[in-house]
């Protein structure tokens, strides 16, 4: 069976505020319409058309898909039926058409599959939900428990109809041939002077086509028209992600105080304390401990590693049994090997930290490569930037850097070398040598 997804995304979204098209508003770190694209991408033998209008180049630019997206322009936003009409010329006559609204982003694949199945049997199938405050939504008018008579938009509803809390999600499926036939009958004689796609229901009934409306979880088919609704969707989505992690054997200190903006995998018996933000693609191993208030973006953290409070980790790979933080910043493609420790107020940038090497306090490691069992004293700085270029510092196995050393790169410190505390090291230190490069202490007589 061919499936044609039609995603409506031409509106500005005045209620959301701002100049950006509403469908690009961020939900869990990506444009809300992107969630729909990711969902429909996984359907075999399907095509996706997106109806764009307001700031169409921004929408086209920001979306990514495994499939070729077909963008269709709707010059003037004359209503949802008018929007769908723009896509009809490019959809297959023998397909099932599935209409999705770009601001209703969280529908699940399984639910769509059921909808498509029902539409393939010649029905008009749609999804509804119960909303305590249904203001703004189309109300579902049922003639009996099973069948739906029509949809009345909020602006056109009588005060009795406004009491109805079952509302239209906007998501529907119907054979493309029927859609084509019915859509031409939709008029704009309503309060908004728009061509409402919701009029399909009454037209289908008039043509003895069964209308099947399935009540869904509001979380799955709720819309985001304004900041408040978007916030509600975001919180519900985040809670769901956190609960999924709990189910998979991860301990989450508080499911309402974790934000996952992107993809995450966490191994069993790991623990995530409160107020953590995960962005991009993160993979955490088993028995990993993340303390409170960390920001972790595009990182891989292996088994048994502890990240203490208030640590920032970006674009880095952290090996097994490492200890990081509190208050550390690891970034720029750093790589920590098993057992490495970077403690409080340590920053690592584009650096490799070898097995069991340590920098536990107040240190900057930029463009550095540390071998195994290196000990970096408190206050050490790699001076990697001369104002124009970045230079490397190589510190071989077993080297001990005295506290408050300045390592002026480019620099190589051989195996088991030492630097005296407070040294400014500008020349390579051979293997096993102790380099001292600081003013000599003189003890003078005090004036009386
Ligand atoms: C719509 C439904 C309403 C439903 C609600 C669910 C209609 C007439 N009403 O109302 O029954 O309860 O969604 O969320 O369909 N769009 C275009 N071109 C247009 C108009 C809209 O592409 O000319 C797009 C918008 O960008 C948006 C989607 O269609 O992504 C829905 O439009 P919107 O104006 O948000 O409709 P609602 O008032 O929410
Ligand atoms: Ca809407």
Sorted by where each starts, the structural domains of the chain and their CATH numbers stand as 3-221 (3.90.550.10), 227-435 (2.160.10.10)
Q: How far apart are CA 73 and CA 163, in angstroms?
A: 36
Query: Ligand 1 atom closest to Cα of 196?
Result: 8
* First vs last C-alpha separation in the chain: 101
Which residue in the block uniquely carries the two structure tokens 């058309």?
49
Q: Please tell me the distance from the alpha carbon of residue 90 to that of residue 240, in angstroms, as a whole number.
A: 37
Residue 387, pLDDT score: 97
Q: How much is the pLDDT for 231? A: 97
Output the six-digit token pair for 275. Answer: 């107020």
pLDDT at 144: 78
Q: Are 191 and 152 in contact (CB under 8 A)?
A: no
For Cα atoms 265, 267, 272, give the angle at the middle one, nearest 5 degrees: 85
- In the residue annotation, 361 being an active-site residue is answered as yes
* Residue 431 confidence (pLDDT): 98
Top mutation candidate among 11, 84, 85, 151 for ligand 1, by most atoms within 8 Å of CB:
11
Question: Cα of 228 to ligand 2 centre, how many Å?
Answer: 13
CA-to-CA distance for 321 and 302, rounded, in angstroms? Answer: 8
d(CA 11, CA 424) in angstroms, rounded, equals 62
Query: Best substitution site from 78, 86, 103 to test ligand 1's pocket, by max atoms within 8 Å of Cβ?
Result: 103
State residue 8's pLDDT score. 98
Q: What is the distance in A from the centroid of ligand 2 to the CA of 119?
A: 23
Predicted local confidence at residue 10, as pLDDT = 98
- Cα 362 to averaged position of ligand 2 atoms, centre (Å): 51
Burial class (CB in 10 A: 0-12, 13-18, 19+), 448: exposed
- Going by CA atoms, what residue is nearest to atom 28 of ligand 1? 101
Number of C-alpha atoms within 13 angstroms, CB side, residue 344? 2
Q: Which atom of ligand 1 is nearest to the CA of 9?
A: 26
Ligand 1 pocket mutation pick from 8, 34, 82, 199 by most atoms within 8 angstroms of CB: 8
Ligand 1: residues with CB < 6 A are 8-11, 23, 51, 74, 77-80, 82-83, 101-104, 136-138, 151, 153, 167-170, 196-198, 223, 225
Q: How many CA atoms lie within 13 A of 26 on its CB side?
A: 8
Separation of 11 CA from ligand 2 center, angstroms?
Answer: 9
Residue 300 Cα to ligand 1 middle (Å): 40
pLDDT value of position 262: 96
* 172: helix, strand or coil: strand
Ligand nearest to the CA of 87: 1
The residue whose C-alpha atom lies closest to atom 17 belonging to ligand 1 is: 10
**pLDDT truncated to tens, each residue of the chain (448 aa)?**
899 999 999 999 999 999 999 999 999 999 999 999 999 999 998 999 999 999 999 999 999 999 999 999 999 999 999 999 999 999 999 999 999 999 999 999 999 999 999 999 999 999 999 999 999 999 999 987 778 999 999 999 999 999 999 999 999 999 999 999 999 999 999 999 999 999 999 999 999 999 999 999 999 999 999 999 999 999 999 999 999 999 999 999 999 999 999 999 999 999 999 999 999 999 999 999 999 999 999 999 999 999 999 999 999 999 999 999 999 999 999 999 999 999 999 999 999 999 999 999 999 999 999 999 999 999 999 999 999 999 999 999 999 999 999 999 999 999 999 999 999 999 999 999 999 999 999 999 999 8
Among 358, 318, 362, which Cα is nearest to 338's?
318
CB 97 within 8 A of CB 8: no
Nearest ligand (C-alpha, residue 9): 1
- Helix (H/G/I), strand (E/B), else coil: 31: strand
pLDDT at 318: 98
């Amino acid at each position: 069976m061919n499936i044609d997804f039609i995603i409506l995304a031409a509106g500005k979204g005045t209620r959301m505020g701002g100049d950006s098209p509403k469908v690009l508003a961020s939900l869990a770190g990506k444009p809300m319409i992107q969630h729909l694209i990711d969902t429909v991408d996984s359907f075999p033998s399907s095509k996706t058309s997106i109806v764009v209008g307001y700031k169409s180049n921004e929408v086209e630019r920001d979306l990514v898909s495994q499939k070729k997206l077909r963008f269709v322009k709707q010059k003037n936003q004359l209503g949802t039926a008018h929007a769908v009409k723009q896509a009809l010329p490019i959809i297959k006559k023998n397909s099932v058409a599935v209409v999705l609204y770009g601001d209703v982003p969280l529908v699940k694949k399984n639910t769509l599959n059921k909808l498509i199945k029902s539409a393939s049997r010649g029905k008009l199938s749609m999804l509804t939900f119960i909303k305590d405050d249904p203001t703004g939504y189309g109300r579902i008018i049922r003639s009996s428990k099973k069948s739906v008579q029509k949809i009345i938009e909020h602006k056109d509803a009588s005060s009795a109809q406004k009491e109805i809390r079952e509302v239209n999600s906007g998501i529907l499926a119907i054979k493309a041939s029927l859609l084509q036939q019915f859509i031409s009958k939709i008029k704009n004689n309503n309060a908004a002077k728009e061509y409402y796609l919701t009029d399909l229901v009454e037209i289908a009934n008039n043509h003895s086509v069964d209308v099947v409306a399935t009540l869904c979880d509001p979380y799955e088919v709720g819309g985001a028209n304004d900041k408040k609704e978007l916030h509600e969707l975001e919180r519900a989505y985040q809670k769901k992600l956190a609960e999924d992690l709990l189910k998979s054997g991860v301990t989450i200190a508080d499911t309402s105080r974790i934000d996952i903006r992107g993809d995450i995998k966490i191994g069993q018996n790991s623990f995530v304390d409160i107020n953590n933000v995960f962005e991009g693609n993160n993979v955490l191993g088993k028995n990993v401990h993340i303390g409170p208030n960390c920001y972790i973006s595009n990182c891989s953290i292996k088994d048994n590693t502890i990240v203490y409070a208030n640590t920032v980790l970006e674009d880095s790979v952290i090996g097994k049994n490492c200890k990081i933080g509190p208050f550390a910043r690891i970034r720029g493609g750093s790589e920590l090997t098993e057992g490495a420790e970077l403690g409080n107020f340590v920053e690592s940038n584009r650096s490799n930290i070898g097995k069991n090497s340590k920098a536990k306090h107040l240190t900057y490691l930029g463009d550095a490569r540390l071998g195994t069992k290196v000990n970096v004293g408190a206050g050490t700085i790699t001076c990697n930037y001369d104002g124009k270029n970045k230079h490397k510092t190589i510190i071989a196995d077993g080297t001990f850097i005295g506290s408050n050393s300045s390592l002026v790169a480019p620099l190589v410190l051989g195996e088991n070398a030492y630097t005296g505390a407070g040294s400014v090291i500008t020349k390579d230190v051979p293997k096993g040598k102790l380099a001292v490069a600081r003013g000599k202490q003189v003890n003078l007589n005090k004036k009386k």
